Structure 1
């Protein structure tokens, strides 16, 4: 019995021990879980504190940055005069242009084609003498055929090179002649200035003020002036900055308890005093720039009136409100040490001028002598006159383009005249995603801008790491330039487009004799306009890919010239024999052709389709299917249907077909089908249009 009892007790005890171990294991697991939970909570709290600390540091850094920007802006305004005195004086030589013309660069045309090597043409095979002789004759015939083809290609290359050389020489001579005319005009102005010519004096000293690097971006530059040659006195009205040039805020501090920035306003008395000081500095700086630029001894004195273009507090109308006036002689002004003076005291006490006591409230002063008193006629720059962009000083033209970019909401500054890396204006578009750095080149041309300039701009964009390059000109661009720019981060602005942009953004400019723009094509009617036998080539296709339809007027496989390539940026040939036309639904594109008006030298009209890389940059022509051309008369009646080839994968341009002139002077359509992986650029290069490399 005792053994049996001991057995039951042992089993019970073992069960108790097992249960105890399970409870202890569960307790350990619970404690470990609680420990991990506490560690996780501590990690979350630490991460939260770190995030809060990082957020607070970022907000505090932003507040300090804004404060530093305000302080830097004020410091720049306070040092306006001293910085201007350290700048180099303006000289007439800075207006001259070097007689440097872009070197002739024919690209691949400069290299002779390799002729076939007879050593590479060895007869092979043949067990009999007759067969060997036959193989040798075939090899010799193949060599002669290839040699003649290579000779013909080399002759064509030499002809193209000679043509290109001739075109370059014509362009270079025109550019050199323009530079020499410009420099001769500068020399004539200098001579006239020495002789006391009023118009030359006004133009020269206006250029000195506009080209001065002393003025911060954003300060106005508007002047009206006249020159009294008898007194050797320049009389001018100069626009001054408005009251808002002084920052209203003094500092910014982050308040973590409210999670917001606290802006501290600049004391009104301090802001008024600083504004008055800035106005005085501006007046003194204008006097300094004028006397420093006078290398011809034309100025005995300057009568200067400073105004703001604002609402007259008495009438509420927009008016010139004069806030400062002074008449300074050269002898008195040159004795001043401008970097050490108090600007307001110097202007009022040292030069006996007048400065508004409350310019913030537009309290006016009575101007002294004004340009209208001189009687020689007043020349105004930056006012209501439309400046001729062709005749504008290059520096002023670059400044105008920079003004345009700023008016379009961008940050823009002109670069230095040397070592600018091919960049005339640096711009920054602050727009998210699509914005970024923009490099701008300015070409004040009368002739068409060559494709080499567009190619050079693309290299500059890559070298500068910019998001986009913009080429602005007073002339225009040929199809080679547009095609090279197509699909690249380049934008070409012609003279007509520039004038339109200027006027849309409140700026002024014209091209030549008073009009806002220069017509891109002739304005007088010709035979093509009046022809009643013209046809419409109306085209349709399936698929949603965006396609441009173009036409080339050719002799053989060479386009007559760039103007005979009709595409989106050149909507018609010079004689209007081929022109873009509005398609009627369901067709998607149309071209109007007057075959009888085509040049006698033309024997082909080639029709081309190409993917629009701006809309479908990744697309090919695989979706260009079921294409057709409907031949219509001017009333829209269908005369015939022309089937054309479908597009293929990996190709982005396609020759649809060509109309060919026969001996009877009739035109016959021949279906095309050749595709190009390199798009429209590769296609038109094959037809002889230079698109750069």
Structure 2
């Protein structure tokens, strides 16, 4: 799924984390020493009972301080300075050369100090003078030798200093050049640089209390200017189980009063909400280069799966927040859980203490860019696995999900790679599984063949598992049939959820092969939102096709529920804001050069309203919105008719001038979306 970050910022972040651990360990040691010193002092000055009562009060105050810190996590965190790239720069702060005692030359002997002593006669005086000269010359030669040695040692020390300082300066310059390189990469929107930079921002933050985890996996969607990341949240035991401590003198022991379960659960959920908002705050405030239009954030805990007992990542919260929506919040005054779920339309587990999971809307491996991760072990590349080993891994997955599963023999398997049996009453039964270790999109023929196998074998269900993905034709054919299609990114997610290992490619989940992108890509801010509104309660899927004439450019240029955007990101489904019921974002100038039509269609959702038609589709219009969601105009579209289940709403057509004009549609289909897309050249047979 991921690769361990190899960038310099990633390495810097790992060093920061190790240093933080050391600082926290040293702080704990000092606190314990201080506690023991205070205890000794109290014991020396108080009686035993008074000391024990004071200890109970101290422990209660510590519990209250822990809870207060958790309750104020978001407020305190928002007061910390925003991360800036300049904080990564190192100064060439080289200490001056200090030779110590070698700085001082050896003192030469003073000849005046070598006077002849004694001697009454001329011969005695001459001998004394000769002895004095000899002593002087001996000491002078010794001083000369010592000075020569000093100068040699000083020169060697100087050379060593210069080499060390030059190496240090070179290291600082390399580091600073790396910072500049990464920041320039961030300015350009380079995915690796963006991920490294924002990972460092989270690692460098001083907002997190001691003991909070800091594990992250992230990827950057260049076309959508969106950072997608999984961030580790604190476990349930971060909230103290005890509420207070009192001393029982009769038993001479401490007794903890339990914190009410409801209070502990509520506080834990609040901590998760604060943590998610704090991560978003740190990312958006760190974005000094303006590369993030939005952030898709998933919060997880590393814990045993309640179903299998295997250690895995369990997601407890998820949110997709745009910069505009988030910066409009007043974080100091919000209720964290309500802000996350209502204002930002995210999700948070209703019972996180019981590891009740939520489903992330988007994960790093879904982006297609390399996934950088801090923490996590090496995982096997599914593309490189032996085919038999890959089938065995899929069988292990089904067994981990509580089913009986065996791989079939290679010959005469009838198109079945894994036979599975779901023992669940009513919805269970026989399942046939086909495994496709592909890099390219699985063709619709493989899905049709699986459906034939299901019918021939009398199975209750067919499952097609691949390392790549499926096109709209495959999804449309499978809809309403006892078939389930599991793409590569979904497979990796399932493996991790059930304690198994696997990744796609060297950097994580690799995107299926995509058609050639247009050479013209619109600026990120040059787009419109097409909001769709209508009367009636019928559930509809609003879709878009990028066409040349009456033919879609490719299956990947059909944007619908299973394909939320085109390969170049110029068209994408986005969450609707009231009064709209559906919305499509399109950068008209970013559409492929080959495209001359952009078609909007609507179809009844047969899973929600299997018996419905479009007779209840009335008062419909397309609202044309700018990036600030300001309405620029309304385009009226035709009402639906009885018996029809799909409708062409209209099409935008490119004129010779380069402008796009809207042409009202109205053609209806009784065969639903399947019949409609077949008209536009998508194979759903």
Q: What's the TM-score once normalised by structure 1's chain length? A: 0.48
Which structure has more relative contact order (CA 8 Å, sep 6+)? It is 2
TM-score, normalised relative to structure 2: 0.48
